[in-house]
Every structure is written in structure tokens, then in C-alpha cells.
Chains A and B, each alone.
Chain A
Amino acid sequence: MATKNSDLDPGGLSRRAILKGLMGVAAGAAMPLAAHAALQSGPPARKAGTGLPPETQPEPSLDPRKNPSWEGWNNPRLGPTNGWSDASESAAWTTILNPDGLAIYHDRFYRIPESHPKHHWVMVMDTRKCVGCQACVVSCKSENNVPLGVYRTWVDVYQTGDTVPDPEGDVVLDGRRYRMDAKVVNMPKICNHCAHPPCVEVCPVKATFKRQDGIVMVDPRLCIGCGTCVNACPYDARFINPVSQVADKCTFCVERVDAGLLPACVTSCVGRARVFGDILDPNSEVSHLLARYPHSVRHPEFGTDPQVFYIGESGDISTDPDPNVQHMVFTYTSNANSNVPGGVDVI
């Protein structure tokens, strides 16, 4: 993996990166860093596509904080020869974000149902079938070039209950018998593409929008990276992409959906726990599932009207902040003292 990355690095210094490097130097804040990045990224884009790393290329780090060109927007494989020059980048984004020119909405989302959309994409998470294998997380990362450390989708695994003493139990420890009186809950989490997304409404520059077919997206050409939307999402579904340095989030794999394919996470789901489809079509699988089974959404109390529905979770499916109630066995959260029962006095 490491050698492969060094192949990709030489053309990694786009015009934007140079600008940023210079700004960093000017600010005097990131001098050693800018030098480091320049060293890592090598000479500018004209060498892109040669595929040959300079002899002096240092081993690139897998840490995105030390190696911002890692597999991201600076990827030289998307250089000018691939139709991804600075000039065509803008056109490319238009194609990716909204090829059919659907109406987009920045506020007053009640107008969407009034506009009689052709499709309304939703996802159903049938958690009865989720085995917590994390394949969707991997395929999302790979499909969308999501940098290290951040996630467009992730699957939290909780355990409720405990191991209790039981003379009949099958767990033997120090000569005593125990029984696992616990339930494991797999919670695939993703942007809910809310019907009333607070993240879209708070954007000061109308960089993020909701498409007529329900998909909430960010236009990376416009976003100023202020972070308001990241804070405004009650589900922590947004982040600032450390490579493109703009807000980023799940797009339901919009480029695949527009091409008639399913989102990457849906195709890779081993248990068919993730189902994607058009809720306006009464014959779609999502419509059938939602008609047949009771379902819930995450945090309905925020009034965002999420469009990702969960089947197979009884009652409240939001995370209990108390680790003693719900033990997080597996999480992608790196910045919180999450799965430490009793580690923090929450109640």
C-alpha cells in the first residue's frame, strides 16, 4: 500500500494546493508543514500520469494529517489527461452532482413534495439482517475516496445487558458459570437525507442543497468550509473533508444512482440489510418493506424527518449516551471517550 501511494503522489500538487501552501507560509503558521507537503507532493501537475515517483520521494505516511494527498482530490490519476483539469473540473462536478438538471432547494423544503418529483430516494436499514461486518463502510470509502479518519457511513455495534452468573451458563470463568444476557445491536449510520435538513438551511453561501429527488449534497466548488452545517446536523453525518477541505457527506452515491445503479454500500451488503429505492414507486422494495414492517428513524424529536428508515429496532434507536446502559462494542468515534463504561460521569 505504501509503495502504491508513492506512485500516486508526484502530480498531487494542484493549483489549489500550491495556493494553500503559499497561504500557509504567508500566515507563518504552517511553515514546516507546507514545506513537508511540498516535498511530499513533488513537482506540479505536468508530471502527472508518468506514474514514476522521483528517486528522492520519502515514504508517504498513511496518516491523512501527514499526507493530505492521500487518495483524494489531489489524486494524480484524475489529472488533465483524464479530463479532470482545472478547466473541466467545474463541468465534471455539474455532471456528478446534478446531470439531469433537477430543481435544487436551499430552504423551504415543503416545496419539494409540491413540485411533484419523479423520484424520492430513501434507504431502509433492515437491522434484523445486519451482521455488523462493516463491508458497507469499506465499499463507501473505496467508492467515494473518503480520506482516512472520516466516514460517510459507519456501523456502530452496541451491546446491551451483561454477563450474569448462572449455574446453567455456558461461560466458565474461575470455576463459576455465567450466561451472556446481552443483546448486540448493529446500527448502520448514514446521512438521513432529511426531508427538512437543518444542515442545508444554515449554509451561509447556499453551497449545500437538497435535490428534487431528495438527495442532500454539497457543492465542493462553492463551500467555504465554515462548518456550520457540520454542527447543524443532529446525526453527525457531515464532516470537513481533510483533503478537499470542504464539507462532505453521504450522497447516496449520486453518480451511481443517476446511472441507474445502487449505492455502493447497498451492493456490498452481505445480508441485504440495506435496501435503496424510490418511495414514490409503490412496487419498489422499500415501499413493500415500509408497508409491511414497523419502522423508526433516528432522533425523530429533532423534527428533521429523516428519510432513512430502520426496521427491526424496537423503540428508541438513538444512541444512549450512557455507556453503562448501552455498551459500544465497536465504534468509529475516535475523539470521544465512548466505549469506556463508567469512564465518564454522564448521569
Chain B
Amino acid sequence: MDFANSTQLFGLEHVYWQLPLVAYPFLSGLVAGSFIVGSLSHVFGLKRFEPLAKMAIIVTLAFLIGAALAPLAEAWQRERFWELITRDHFPYSPLGMFIIVWIAYVILVLVEMYFLFRQDNIYLAQHGRGWRKTWHGLLTFGSRNLSEPSLKRDHTILVCLAAAGIVLAFAFHGYVGFVFGALKARPLWSSPMMPVIFLISAIVSGIAAMITVYTLIQGGLGEKPVDSDILDGLMGLMKWAIFVDLFLDLIELLTSGVRSYASLPVYRGFSAIFFSSGPLAFNYWVVQIGLLIVVLVMTFVRPLRRSLAGSNIAAFLALVSVFAMRYNTVIGAELQPKASQGLVRYTPTWFGMDSWQVVIGLFAIVVFLVSLSLLLLPWERSWTASWSNEGAAVPVLPGAAAGHAAGPKKGGTS
């Protein structure tokens, strides 16, 4: 029935994967990216990013849920979603594989959240006010152990989880790339580079998202002001990610846009779609490549890097550029006809099935989940204090006086 909303005729050479499938790699890219940023402090011992750990894991979970909803929004019989688990075509179907990696990832993130928030939850379960006492009591799963060895154990577990999580993040997003890369019918998708290209731009967008979320949450709700060292650090990371991303773009351009190097179907599709008069030329050269170069330049300017506005504008531009990259990859390849000539016509719609409305809705769900977690989880130590009976003072956790930041972490990090 939703077909009536489509501006496009149904028939041969129809673009079946539309905007929700563009949002799908974008959202899962943010998952992978933000998870990797969140793990920096645990796995790579980058102490500077310690404050991002909790935020990153919550944002990761929210994007993870959004990322699974996106392909479902595209499926016409989405009420049969349970078949993805009961009849999973593992391991032959890339999308079937995705479900397995997704479930593993959700479990890992939930376990990691448990250990990240354990100290605060125990404190709140003992000292919280009203319903919080019960809620955080539930979240501790009955554990009340805050002794030094148990905190040490927590930390070891977190490091292991984060390391396993990075592997999963790569697998997760690599697999999203493979969902497209495995379809040999589309010359522009069928490339071994696909998982790598997707992964690197995922990291770019993940870092950019962390800059934005960090500014919003810390600037709007946190006790401490936004730390420009963290912004600086994230921008520095983004610089390297963009370098690699642009390098991969260059390789892609060389292997698909140069007639002598590329196979004929790839060259025909690429040049017709992305060169001079092609339908996605602007989107490719200006939005995808152009904005990325602008951001790259911005990451070199120290005052911009450290300023709130500068880094956030850079982050926003990077997000736009990565979204354009997803659009060019997903929609672009589908503009090349399989059994006909010329190029397939496609204009995204604003309302109805497969429209911007769906994409905005998906992001609204993610924002909602993040906001919900603001209410339900202590993102910051200071919130723990304000939610507890004792009020004002920063809670002195039994056995871990202010140990969160420094104490037990020293052991396993480096």
C-alpha cells in the first residue's frame, strides 16, 4: 500500500534499497566508531579519553538498536522479523551473518555497561532516593562487592570486553560493508574494498558523533565544563581517520573512475553516475570529498581544534560527508541498470515508505534512547551524588575513594 506514496513507478530497474538502507550503514558506522572511541582509554591506555567511556557505551547501544531497525524499516514484511533469528541463513547470507554479529554485540555492550556502571549502581542501590534505590538495585543483579580486588577484577574484565568489542566492532561494520560487497550483480558494490571503506568512514563518523554528543551532554548537563583537551584529542584522532579515508577514496577513484584501470561495467557505472553530468556528481565531489577535505584542514588548525564551535562544526561536516558517502555507495550503485540502458531514475521522497521521514524517525529513536539513559543511568559521578540521599557531596564509595578515575585502572591498561 505504501507503494502509492512512491514517486517512482514500480517496474524493472527499481531502486529497492532506498534511504533507510542509507541510514543503516551510517548508524552502524556510528556504532563501530563510538565504540572504538569509548575503548580508547581501556584498551590503548589513553587516559585522556577516560571520561568518554560511559557516554560512548550508551551511545553505542542506542545506535546499535537504531542500526538494526533500519533494514527492518526497509523490509516490506517487517512483522516477520523473528524469522531472522528462527530461520537465520547462517552463515551463507551476509544479512543473516549480520544478525549473529549484532546479537553478540548487543550482549557484549550490555555486559560492558554492567561493569562500567557497577560501582555507581551499588552506591545508588544503597543510598539512592525513592524508585532509584529499587532500579539501581535491580541493575546490580544483587552484587554489593566494592572491595579493592573486585574493582581490580572489574577493570580486567572491562579491558577484555573492550578488546573483544573492538574485534566485534570491526566485524560488525565490516559485515555491513559485505552486505553490499557480496552482491556481485551490482558492479559498484562488488568490491573487496567495501568492508574497509565502510569501516574507516565509520571511524570518522563515530569520532565526529562523539564530539557532538560530548559537547551536548557535558556542556549542557555535566558538572565540569567541556574539556578542550578532549575535543583536541578527538579532532586529532579524526585527522588520522580522515587521512586513511581519503586515501581509500583515492584508491576507489583510481580503480573505478579510470578507464584503463577499471573493468568496463565498473567504469561505465562510476563515470556515468559520479562524473561531470552524472546525477550524484555534486554529492560525490562536493559533499563527500569536498567536505572531508575541509574537515581535514580544520583539524590542522589548533584554535579550531580546541574551540567548542570549531570542533563541532568540523564534526557536523564530517557527519554530513559520511552520510553522503553512504548515499553515494548505496543509491549510486543501484542507479546502474542491470538489464536495461541509461541510468535508473531516483529522487528520494520526504514522506512515506523509504523516505526522509523514516530516516529522521530512526534518528529520533536513537536520540530518545540516549535521553532515556540520561534519566536512568548515572553518566557522571556527580549525578550519582545528586541522586542519592546524602546529596551534595561526591560519594565516597566504600573501598574506592575516588578510585574511579585513577586507582584500580593503573594496573592493566598499558
Contact = CB atoms under 8 A, between A and B. Distances in A.
Interface stretch (B45-53, B210-218, B343-351): B343-351
Contacts of A23: 79
Given A336-B344, A337-B342, A227 B83 contact: no
A254 interface: no
B1 A226 contact: no
A141 interface: no
Interface in B63-105: 71, 74-81, 83-84, 87-89, 92-96, 98-99
Chain B, interface SS category? loop
A272 to B, nearest CB: 24
A104 interface: no
A343 B80 contact: no
A21 B14 contact: no
Contacts of B179: 228
A102 interface: no
Given A222-B83, A224-B83, A344-B272, A239 B1 contact: no
Interface string B327-339: 0000000101111
Question: Residue among B5, B6, B12, B14 with the most chain A CB within 10 A?
Answer: B12
A68 B3 CA distance: 8
A54 interface: no
Interface string A11-53: 0000001011101100001100110110000000000000000
Contacts, number: 235
A246 B321 CA distance: 34
A227 B89 contact: no
A331 B340 contact: yes
B138 to A, nearest CB: 31
Contacts of B96: 204-205
A321 interface: yes
A154 B351 CA distance: 32
Contacts of B13: 236, 333, 335-336
Contacts of A312: none
Given A231-B17, A233-B185, A344 B339 contact: no
Contacts of B95: 202, 204, 226, 228
B24 to A, nearest CB: 11
A334 B9 contact: yes
A188 interface: no
B341 interface: yes
Interface in A195-210: 198, 201-207
Nearest to B81: A224
A206 B16 contact: no
Given A65-B4, A203-B89, A225 B9 contact: no
Given A64-B3, A68-B1, A227-B75, A333 B353 contact: no
B228 interface: no
Given A321-B342, A339-B341, A332 B75 contact: no
A245 B89 CA distance: 21
A197 to B, nearest CB: 11
Contact-size category for A:
35 or more
A151 B11 contact: yes
A336 B92 CA distance: 32
Contact of A204 (B89, B277, B338): B89
Contacts of A20: 1
B143 interface: no
A246 B76 contact: yes
B276 interface: yes
A29 B3 CA distance: 12
A243 B352 CA distance: 17
A201 B92 contact: yes
B2 A321 contact: no
A23 B79 CA distance: 10
Given A64-B3, A65-B6, A346-B268, A149 B94 contact: no
B4 A205 contact: no
Given A66-B4, A336-B13, A321 B341 contact: yes
A184 to B, nearest CB: 16
A33 B5 CA distance: 8
CB-based closest 9 A-B pairs:
A225-B76, A234-B185, A204-B95, A333-B340, A337-B342, A227-B16, A245-B76, A236-B339, A204-B96
Given A231-B183, A231-B334, 14 more contacts: A30-B353, A37-B1, A198-B184, A202-B182, A204-B98, A222-B83, A223-B77, A226-B75, A226-B76, A236-B340, A328-B340, A333-B337, A338-B337, A344-B272
18 contacts: A65-B4, A65-B9, A107-B89, A150-B10, A150-B11, A224-B78, A224-B81, A224-B83, A225-B75, A227-B17, A231-B186, A235-B339, A321-B336, A333-B12, A335-B11, A335-B344, A336-B344, A345-B275
Interface of B: 1-6, 8-17, 71, 74-81, 83-84, 87-89, 92-96, 98-99, 179, 182-186, 268, 271-272, 275-278, 334, 336-346, 351-353, 355, 357-358
